[in-house]
Chains A and B, each alone.
Chain A
Amino acid sequence: MLNVTDLHAAYGNIKVLNGVTLSVPGGSIATILGRNGSGRSSTCKAVMGLLPPMRGQVTLKGKELAGLPAHEISRAGIGYVPEDRQVFKNLSVEENFKIGIQPAKAGRAAWTVDELLDVFPRLRERRHIKAGFLSGGEQQMLTLFRTLLTNPDVMLIDEPTEGLAPKVVEALAEVILEMKRRGLALLLLEQKLAMVMRLTDRVFVMGRGEIVFSGSVADFQADDAVRRTWLEVS
């Protein structure tokens, strides 16, 4: 579904992506691992059009997206939850939901506010208060749900579990699996291995702006060298 081919990008003179190639089929979860500065977040930004790609393709269901402005990429079906999730603080929780709602793509059931609130009922109790008053974890879930209500085909989630209480992580895992069941392509970016290892179908490891490993969870766990070279901090 989402295909990235030979993607190059730079901040000014500093090259951050050196030919990233990856693909995520519908109904599957892929995770990009890598240390800080390895190019994980830059890959997402380049896909979203925030970091203009110098070379390479980004296609969603065959449609070329590279070079389009962010809102058109979103309309094409990519939902993006950035690392610094920010809610609309002075809008109510309910308004935060409403602002994002888009009709579902053909052949897929639309997400509804109600079913998402069933997964994380704390937001239901607080739906009339301003989102700025929510706790950190609640704000993260709200941002995720808001993006999901745009009914995307692909979800890019930067550091989904960062700073979440264990109970919230459980709710999050449930939503992620439900997204997979509904045929979405998920791309998670993580530093930590713990939670995603039991969800993900495929692992990519990034280093110096390139994909240095790609394989199944079993392949990844068998490959000590990759972990030592590209992930563990010595």
Chain B
Amino acid sequence: MKTVLYIGAAIAAAALLALPIFGDLGTMNLVIKIMIAAIFALGFNLLWGQAGLPSFGHAAYYGIGTFATIYMMNAIDRGGWFPTPLLPLVGAGAGFAFGLVAGWFATIRSGVYFAMITVALAELVSAIALKWEGLFGGEAGIRSIRTDWGPFSFQSTTSVYWLTLIWMLLVMAFLFGLQRSPFGLVVRGIRERELRVRFLGYDTHRVKTLVFAISAAVSGLAGGLLAISDESASMVLFQGSGSAFVVLNTVIGGAGVFLGPVIGAALTTSFAYFGANLSHFWMLYLGIAFVVTVMYAPQGIGGAIAQRARAVKAGEKAAFGTGDLIGIVAFALTFLGLIFLIEITGTICSEQYRASIASAKGVWPPVRLLGYDFNPLSPLPWLIGLLSLGAGIAIVVAQPHLRRPRLLDLVTTKAEAGK
């Protein structure tokens, strides 16, 4: 099993190293965004996966990191001395400072109350960003430019790519070391039984505040990299969707596995990148993917892989069996059916489509789907959708190992972890 892991790591490393040589600009930008989302999610998961504290307002620290970095970039542009490659540390510092204050308040409580406080604090920051145009630039946001440092030029996308990659590896090494340190052990102890940790002589409120601030610092560092990559910051960063996406990435990838959030970030960011070109409804598909993950793999994709790897090692399961094949077929059919139904319904309900009916004098134009034209008035596309969906669900229901949704398990494990 270890060999598989090393081979996987080697392939990933080779792909990351080769990308600037073979990849086009679009792909490189995508991977930069994935790495930024991965750092953000890793920071978030320090708080959730390790300390058991679910923050639903982490966009605040990400956004603060972005703005702080943009201001520093402007200062460099005006002749400041700060080295460009270290700019993410400005984001991290800002995130840490705000995280200390917010974390001190939020970690007075645990579980749902903690989560509510984080949401409230994020909304507060968002409201301030909206009103305070002088500092946050209003709807237009603030722009800046990357300045070269010594012999290093930062004008190309490739340079931003290398910088982001190096910072991602540094953050991973830091967080991995932290997780294994005595401090990380105390943090995990707090997730399990906070009161017992106090009996062992630790001021748990102080530990929780610190871990919150470190998590906010890593999020701010990710925000700093975004500032370098985009050369701009806007108050949109503070909106709730940013906080939601990092939760989504972590849940889909798996909070209990170190690289889980990275897997989630890679999947959702790629999905947003490609999906947005393919369909207007890509966010709906992402939502469905989230629900399916929570139901069938509450430990996330990374967690499911780790679990399977352990079962294979113990000789309980094959690495890939017929059951998995049936599962994949069932999900593929279900999704195919959903795609037909959602795309056709969505398209014919759109204003644009209404307008084209009017311009064609009442004739319904065909809907293009998966490379074919379908007449929305014929039963064919609807039948394909319904039959495919029905067949997929029927297989799921007939297979005992697929049937049981584990939603409640997730809720209970998280509730226990929050105690």
B202 within 8 A of A: yes
Chain A residues with Cβ below 8 Å from B286 are none
- List A residues 92-121 near B (Cβ within 8 Å): 95, 98-100, 102
The residue on A at minimum CB distance from B203 is A71
- Quick check: is B201 within 8 A (CB to CB) of the other chain? yes
Give residues 148-200 of B contacting A (CB, 8 Å).
Answer: 182, 185-186, 188-189, 191-193, 195-200
* Nearest B residue to A96, CB-CB: B189
Distance between Cα atoms of A102 and B201 in the complex (Å): 9
Contact A147 B199 (CB under 8 A): yes
* Distance from A180 Cβ to chain B, minimum over Cβ atoms (Å): 21
- Contact A91:B185 (CB < 8 A) given known A71-B198, A74-B198, A86-B196: yes
- Quote the shortest CB–CB distance from B263 to chain A (angstroms): 21
Give the distance to chain B from A159, nearest Cβ to Cβ, in Å.
16
Q: Which residues of A contact B195 (CB under 8 A)?
A: 70
**Given known contacts A74-B200, A147-B200, is B188 in contact with A90 (CB within 8 Å)?**
yes
The answer, yes or no, to whether B234 is at the interface (CB within 8 Å) is: no
Asked if B188 contacts A91 (CB within 8 A), the reply is yes
With A71-B204, A89-B192, A90-B192 as contacts: A80 and B199 at CB distance below 8 Å? yes
Name the residue of chain A whose CB is nearest to the CB of B202: A71
Interface of B is mostly: helix
Does A40 sit at the interface, judged by CB under 8 A?
no
Shortest distance between the CB of A84 and any CB in chain B (Å): 10
- Say whether A91 contacts B201, CB under 8 Å: no
Partner of A146, one of B188, B200, B204: B200
A58 to chain B, nearest CB (A): 16
Q: Tell whether, in the assembled complex, residue B185 and residue A70 are in contact, meaning their CB atoms are under 8 Å apart.
A: no
Say which size band chain B's interface belongs to. 10 to 19
A230 in contact (CB, < 8 A): no
Tell whether A61 is near chain B: CB-to-CB under 8 Å: no
Query: Does any Cβ of B come within 8 Å of A69's Cβ?
Result: yes
Q: How far is the CB of B38 from chain A (nearest CB, A)?
A: 24
Q: Which residue of B lies closest to A131 (CB)?
A: B192
A150 within 8 A of B: yes
Report B-chain residues with C-beta under 8 Å of the C-beta of A150: 200-201
Report the Cα distance A74→B186, complex, angstroms.
Answer: 15
> Which A residues are in CB contact (< 8 Å) with B202?
71
Contact across chains for A86 and B201 when beta carbons are under 8 A apart: no
A91 to B198, CA, bound (A): 17
Within 8 Å by CB of B182, from A74, A82, A98, lies: A98
Q: Which of chain A's residues have a CB closer than 8 A to the CB of B196?
A: 86, 88
Q: Find chain B residues with CB under 8 A from A146 CB.
A: 200
Q: Mark B188-223, 1 if CB is under 8 A from A, else 0.
A: 110111011111111110000000000000000000
A75 lies within 8 A of chain B by Cβ? yes
User: Nearest-CB distance from B181 to chain A (Å)?
Assistant: 11
A75, A82, A98: the one contacting B201 at CB < 8 Å is A75
A48 at the interface (CB under 8 A from B): yes
In whole angstroms, what is the CA distance A89 to B199 when docked?
Answer: 16
Cβ B192 vs Cβ A88 within 8 A: yes
Pick from B185, B188, B193: contact of A86, CB under 8 Å: B193
Nearest CB in chain A: distance from B204 CB, A: 7
Interface string of A115-153 (1 = CB under 8 A from B): 000000000000000000000000000000011001000
Kindly list chain A residues whose C-beta atoms are within 8 Å of the C-beta of B193.
86, 88
B: which residues have CB within 8 A of A? 182, 185-186, 188-189, 191-193, 195-204
Q: Interface on A for B, CB 8 Å cutoff? A: 48, 69-72, 74-75, 79-80, 82, 86, 88-91, 95, 98-100, 102, 146-147, 150
Can you list 8 A-B pairs with a CB-CB distance of less than 8 A? A48-B199, A71-B199, A71-B204, A95-B188, A98-B185, A99-B189, A102-B201, A150-B201
